[in-house]
Structure 1
Amino acid sequence: MKKLFLLTFIFLLTFVNSAFAHTHIESSSPGDGEVVKEELKEITLTFGGKLEQGSTFTVQNSGGEQVAVENITIADNQLVGTLSSPLENGQHYVKWDIIGADGHPISGNFSFTVELPVSEAPAEETTQEEQVEKQDDTNEEVQSNVEETDVETTNEEKTEEAGQSNGSSDAMPIIIGVLIVIILVSAFFMLRRKK
């Protein structure tokens, strides 16, 4: 009786272990709770038993938006999916749904955090601000040059007008003198005729 009980117990223990070997996830890359500091190209889930076709997983970001995972492949006890684009910083949730070798569907989930170094976006913004300031300075210089040119043109025009008016005022006494001479000559000839 003790032998039968012992054999039954060993059989049940072995059967339970083999039956539930696939029910848990053994490991993942990235792991549950892991902080990823480099760009992630793929996610790998390793299970305790062989997986059947139809096993899959999805990834969501902290906002609940689904992240595109391409080419999810099943290789014996592994699910491997390729990420179509780099993950944003923050927490991400992986939900897996597998079909074990015995045909039973099993699901579960885990999460990891992405903390990639922040790119030098503020420096680029500063550069853009500097470019805008340089452009403004250039525009001000151009405007200043245009105003100076306008002032020079106005001064030249005034100088020309002044020169013309000076020329006409210089010629005025000569014209008056010529007119006086003509009047005097005419008066002289008129007086002479009368005699």
Structure 2
Amino acid sequence: MFKEVPSKRCSLNSCLRLALMLTLCGCLLSFGFSVNAHTLLKSSAPADGETVRESIESIVLTFDSQVQDVIKLELMTEANHTIHIDELQHEGREVTAFLSSPLDNGRYTVNWEIVSEDGHITNGSFNFSVEAELAGAPEDGTALDEPDTTETNEAIEAPGADEPVAPDEEAPQENQALPTETAEEDTLLPWLGLILVVIVIAGLAYVLWRKRS
């Protein structure tokens, strides 16, 4: 009688340890599947923090997996004004926004929100700047010849004629906002599966304990 009690306790402890280990493994696997299922932004054109030297009329976002739906895609100026998007195309992993007119020089922010392949909602943002050359500016940097306005008797000088007018350009800020990509509305399926695994493990542990007792 005294030899059977320690044996039963050892069997029960072994079953409990096994159940605990399997439960922890199930939790880790469930968490890994839940995180890896989210669709994240892989690249963009223009890229985050890029300074574009030519005018652009479209923005392309490429994700690391399929995109079910596009909830929001907006383009904001540095003054927090919204730029109109003429057309939005979504195909597979790419989302393309076509603009009604080329962007002016300045700094812009793109805010996006999509439905991932697994049904989760992810969002983020990135920044870029435009510093395109003004139309009609000489490429070699030489100044245009000014017409001769001198007269035989008296030279006529226009006030401020010798002062070149420099185009206003907004300098891009150095601090670029990092894209934030967060997952919302966690699905209940991984947790339901985890609960089912725990119930099955507990049942097996109880059956083993009953047989050994």
TM class by smaller structure: 0.5 to 0.7
The verdict on how the C-alpha distance between 1:6 and 1:64 changes in structure 2, with shifts beyond 3 A counting, is closer
Match of 1:88 among 104, 107, 118: 104
Check conservation: 1:56, 1:72, Cα contact below 8 A: no
Measure the CA separation in 2 of the matches of 1:80 and 1:56. Answer: 12
Matched residue SS, 2:69: coil
Mean CA deviation greater in 51-60 or 111-120: 51-60
Give the CA deviation at 1:33. Answer: 0.5
| Alignment match, 1:113 | 129
Extract structure 1 runs of 4+ deviating beyond 4 A: none
Q: Name the CA distance, whole Å, in 1 between partners of 2:48 and 2:84.
A: 20
Equivalent AA in structure 2 for residue 8 of structure 1: G
Counterpart CA distance in 2 for 1:54 and 1:88 is 26
Deviation at 1:11, TM superposition (A): 2.1
**TM-score with structure 2 length normalisation?**
0.50
2:95 is paired with a residue whose SS is strand
Show structure 2 runs of 5+ residues with no match: 1-17, 139-143, 152-213
Letter of the structure 1 residue corresponding to residue 43 of structure 2 = S
Give the alignment of 1:3-14 within 5 angstroms. Answer: 4=22, 7-8=25-26, 11-12=29-30, 14=32
In 2, distance between residues paired with 1:54 and 1:6?
36
Give 3-state SS (helix, strand or coil) of 1:113's partner.
strand
The share of aligned pairs that are identical, in percent, is 29
Structure 2 residue matching 1:12: 3-state secondary structure:
helix
Deviation at 1:17, TM superposition (A): 3.6
Whole-Å Cα distance in 1 between the matches of residues 92 and 72 of structure 2? 13
How many equivalent residue pairs? 130
CA deviation string 1:155-192 (max 9, x = no partner): xxxxxxxxxxxxxxxxxxxxxxxxxxxxxxxxxxxxxx
Aligned counterpart, 1:79: 95
> What residue in structure 1 maps to residue 34 of structure 2?
16
Q: Deviations over 1:108-152 (max 9, x none)?
A: 211100010123469xxx89x96xx98xx9xxxxxxxxxxxxxxx
Say yes or no: does 1:101 pair with 2:117: yes
| Cα drift, residue 79 of structure 1 | 1.0
CA RMSD, Structure 1 to Structure 2 (Å): 3.1
Q: Partners in 2 of 1:93 and 1:31 — Cα distance?
A: 11
Asked which structure has the greater CA Rg, the reply is 1
Distance in 2 (alpha carbons) for counterparts of 1:82 and 1:27: 17
Q: Which runs of 5+ in 1 are unaligned?
A: 138-195
Indicate whether 1:50 and 2:74 are aligned: no
The alignment's TM-score, normalised by the length of structure 1, stands at: 0.54
**Whose relative contact order is higher, 1 or 2, with alpha carbons under 8 Å and at least 6 apart?**
2
Query: Which digits, 9 at most, give the CA deviation of each residue in 1:69-122, with x for residues without a partner?
Result: 222111122211112111000101111121223333322211100010123469
Aligned to 1:44, the other structure's residue is in SS state strand
SS at match of 1:118: coil
